[in-house]
């Protein structure tokens, strides 16, 4: 079989076998893959080249995703599989993990801190959100336990979302249900509601 390279857009190179398009790779890979333009290639060599191209494309796509934001290993693997990279996805995530670009513990700690800072979530909800990102259950619980959730976080969440509806029983129930969903326990919710009510009464004295 005859292998032929044709330039594409940017640094893309299209690979043809006996005049039929087979795949696209980047120019850096093509220059180092060991096959010259118009060279002969066997079935075994083509199969190996196809695997290498797929692995390379998966790796580059993973790098693109990581350039946008950090990912957990399972989250990154899922995205690559959804894009059709197959075994190349596992190889890419494995390589990036070995090189330290993917680190589940680092990701979990940063994401947990963000959930507190931006969404004012409690520890129980943090565990849930970490699990959704593919973090191991044991690691998710450890990270949530170690994440500092200030006493004022629940007050901030309560004031922003439910501060205007605490004057009715229905409003209080809504606030309780909402804060439970945010990961807070009933004792701290009750205390927070009482604190808000006391502050409101003080404002009107």
What was the pLDDT predicted at 146? 96
Q: Which residues pair with 16 in a beta bridge?
A: 4, 21
Within the chain, what is the greatest distance between any pair of CA atoms? 91
Does residue 15 or residue 202 have the better pLDDT?
15
pLDDT of residue 87: 84
User: Which residues in 52-68 are b (16+ Cβ under 10 Å) and which e?
Assistant: bbbbbbbbebbeebeee
Cα separation, 115 vs 122, whole angstroms:
9
Q: What is the pLDDT of residues 46-83, one digit of tens each?
A: 999 999 999 999 999 999 999 999 999 999 999 999 99
Angstrom distance (rounded) from CA 182 to CA 73:
25
* Section 7-36 average pLDDT: 91
Helix (H) or strand (E) holding 32: helix 27-32
Under 8 Å between Cβ of 175 and 166:
yes
Full-model pTM: 0.80
> Which tokens go with 130?
């970490």
pLDDT digits (tens, 9 = 90+) for 91-118: 999 999 999 999 999 999 999 999 999 9
Strand partners for 40 = 2
Q: Does the CA dihedral 10-41-47-17 come out positive or negative?
A: positive
């Amino acid at each position: 079989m005859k292998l032929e390279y044709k330039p594409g857009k940017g640094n893309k190179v299209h690979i043809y076998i006996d005049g039929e398009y087979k795949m696209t790779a980047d120019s850096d890979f093509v220059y180092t893959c060991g096959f010259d333009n118009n060279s002969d290639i066997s079935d075994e060599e083509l199969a190996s080249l196809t695997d290498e191209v797929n692995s390379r494309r998966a790796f580059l796509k993973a790098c693109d995703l990581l350039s946008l934001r950090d990912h957990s290993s399972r989250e990154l693997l899922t995205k690559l599989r959804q894009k059709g990279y197959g075994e190349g996805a596992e190889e890419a995530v494995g390589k990036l993990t070995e090189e330290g670009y993917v680190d589940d513990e680092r990701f979990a700690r940063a994401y947990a801190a963000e959930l507190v800072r931006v969404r004012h979530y409690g520890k129980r909800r943090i565990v849930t959100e970490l699990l959704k990102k593919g973090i191991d259950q044991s690691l998710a619980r450890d990270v949530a336990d170690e994440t500092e959730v200030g006493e004022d976080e629940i007050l901030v969440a309560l004031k922003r979302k439910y501060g205007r509806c605490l004057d009715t029983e229905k409003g209080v129930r809504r606030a309780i249900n909402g804060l439970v969903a945010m990961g807070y326990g009933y004792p701290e919710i009750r205390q927070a509601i009482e604190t808000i009510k006391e502050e409101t009464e003080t404002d009107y004295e």
